[in-house]
Structure 1
Amino acid sequence: MSQPLGSVVIPAHDESSVIDRCLERLDLARGDLEVVVVANACTDDTAERARAHGATVVETAVPGKAHALDLGDEHVSAFPRAYLDADVSLDGDDLRRVLDVVRRGPALAAAPRLHVDVTRSSWPVRAYYRVWTALPYVTDDLIGSGVYVLSRAGRARFERFPAATGDDTFVRALFAPGERVGVDGTRFTVHPPRTLAALLAIKTRARFGVAEHVRSAAPGAAAAGSGPAPASAARRLLRRPAVWPALPVYAAVGVLTRVRARRRLAGDAPVAWDRDTTSRPAPTA
């Protein structure tokens, strides 16, 4: 391979049902990306499937996304560098455009625009995301939720990924608004849970990750990654009457997940990964 356009680190724990979709869309046959899939503590054929697409595969028995991200960093060299969740759908051309934006600067971090595919989700889940996707936190240069790209200088902002739950929260908090950008004309697709119970589980995990970050960060350092400011979010929603009928669902999910996350942080409830299996298709042969 000549000098690659950038590198891609994909942590993957038992992702045989989605890794083919992820890698097919990146179009690795073009040979211009340095792609490493870190199969961490897998009990399925994620590694074999990834190798079949031409990705470099690193296998480890050690569980945990942070360890997988760090291990992936050790096996790639090119910048800009993308960190991509295996269950995210991202077209290779869009990824290459985001890599180019970061390469040219001045942004230190970038991501495609987020698209949430709720076609298979129940109505409470659709209602929740109708509000969530209208929030400034999501619409104004969101970094995270499945993919982000860092420049060499951006990656130099930290040494290793924290063992805390939310790597995207941690990374977003490292950059001021003027240092990160959402790239117009590109998008990535996330596939949310189908059921309300599964939604509550993953949003509890997300809130727990934010709470972990706030607890471990220096005073004043967590605001950039902690979610939408209530005042700006309220103003945005007031201008969007189409989302008003969905507000009770959004509020109820927010209250329930906040209570659950606080219980976990206090040690009164078990800390589980809360993996969503409802949105994942069955693996193909």
Structure 2
Amino acid sequence: MPEPVEFSLIIPAHNEESVIARCLKTALSGAPDPPGFEIIVAANGCSDRTAEIARNVMPAAQILEIPEGSKTGAINVANRAASHFPRIYLDADVECEYGSLAALARTLKGPEIMTAAPAIRLDLEHCNALVKAYYSAWMQQPFAKAGKGGAGCYGLSQAALEAVGEFPQIIGDDIWIHTRFPDEQKRMVAQDELGRPVFSIVRPPRTAWQQIKVEARRMIGNAEVKRNYPSPYVSLANKGGGVLGSLRSGASPIDLLVFYAIKMMVRIETRLAKSRGSGVEWTRDLTSRQDG
């Protein structure tokens, strides 16, 4: 039985009735009894059964029902309710077992470490061929290999949260956090101290069109952070290495062709979204939340 580790797990959730049970059950998988950490589900702007399901699955968790639909607003409310450090933030459609969460928490208790994220495991089983090709090339990019920004799961030390304060009303909370600190204060945790794998499971959109919509939202969010919250710290997220770098990375030419074609469509969709005045809307992928 693993030793309990003290931390607060915060799960912002907006209309996540199809995935919240899976997220919570996975977080407790392998945990000691009692688990030693607190779970806060910040159900924000929900019109479905997210809060009800969360209570039924995990009666010991704090379930906050927040009228406004805002991820960063929900994070702020949950931070005020939380009682432990470090803080780990987990998207409701992402899975991360206790062993990985505890490894992040232990890492964040180390000196001079502000943020940490687990390695990413992509579940592409139900994705179409274009999405699989896109992510085959994506995983070879420098920013994906570095993994320090997280993909739906990241943690902050007490010092980090004290430094950043409240989260602003933005789309890209992860890129905002990623650009608050120098690279040497970030960690991507792929193994714990015993060599066991540390990871979160991410399910990308199943279709290329949904991937384009989600990437466009991410691009708009990144631009918002760069414009309104400039940072002196250079992020690997801005260093793709170009076409030649991608070819040297080992990605196949066909996968790269799909990758750059989707990226081009993302730029077009971003411009269209801005022209429609919908540049700050939250684009939600429902395909990855389907069963089977």
TM norm structure 2 = 0.88
Match of 1:95 among 89, 92, 101: 101
Match of 1:201 among 197, 213, 229: 213
Paired residue for 2:227?
215
Paired residue for 1:40?
44
Matched, 1:115 2:125: no
**Cα distance between partner residues in 1 of 2:188 and 2:167:** 22
Question: How do 1:122-133 residues align onto structure 2 when only pairs under 5 Å count?
Answer: 122-133=128-139
Instruction: Classify the secondary structure of the residue corresponding to 2:284.
Output: coil
Change (3 A) 1:222 1:204: farther
Per-residue deviation, 1:258: 1.8
Matched, 1:260 2:269: yes
**Cα distance between partner residues in 1 of 2:234 and 2:269:** 21
**Cα distance between partner residues in 2 of 1:241 and 1:167:** 31
Question: How do 1:178-257 residues align onto structure 2 when only pairs under 5 Å count?
Answer: 178-185=184-191, 186-218=198-230, 221=232, 223-224=234-235, 227-230=237-240, 232=241, 234=243, 236-257=245-266
Change (3 A) 1:222 1:101: closer
**Partner amino acid for 2:255?**
A
Question: Cα deviations across residues 73-107 of structure 1 (Å, max 9, x unaligned)?
Answer: 01102111101100001111111011001112332
Equivalent pairs counted in the alignment come to 278
Change (3 A) 1:170 1:77: same
Paired residue for 1:50?
54
Which consecutive residues of structure 2, in runs of 5 or more, have no partner in the other structure? 192-197
Instruction: Classify the secondary structure of the residue corresponding to 1:114.
Output: strand
**Partner amino acid for 1:258?**
R
**Cα distance between partner residues in 2 of 1:104 and 1:241:** 34
**Cα distance between partner residues in 2 of 1:86 and 1:31:** 19
**Cα distance between partner residues in 1 of 2:277 and 2:41:** 35
Change (3 A) 1:200 1:102: same
**Cα distance between partner residues in 1 of 2:204 and 2:176:** 21
- Percent same amino acid at aligned positions? 31
Per-residue deviation, 1:214: 1.2
Which consecutive residues of structure 1, in runs of 5 or more, have no partner in the other structure? none
Change (3 A) 1:239 1:92: same
RMSD of the TM alignment (CA)?
2.1
Per-residue deviation, 1:281: 2.7
Instruction: Classify the secondary structure of the residue corresponding to 2:16.
Output: coil
**Cα distance between partner residues in 1 of 2:218 and 2:202:** 15
2:120/2:147 contact within 8 Å kept: no
Question: How do 1:130-209 residues align onto structure 2 when only pairs under 5 Å count?
Answer: 130-185=136-191, 186-209=198-221
Change (3 A) 1:88 1:37: same
**Cα distance between partner residues in 2 of 1:19 and 1:105:** 33
**Cα distance between partner residues in 2 of 1:235 and 1:63:** 42
Per-residue deviation, 1:267: 5.7
Question: Cα deviations across residues 8-33 of structure 1 (Å, max 9, x unaligned)?
Answer: 11100111111111111111753311
**Cα distance between partner residues in 2 of 1:34 and 1:75:** 11
Match of 1:61 among 64, 67, 78: 67
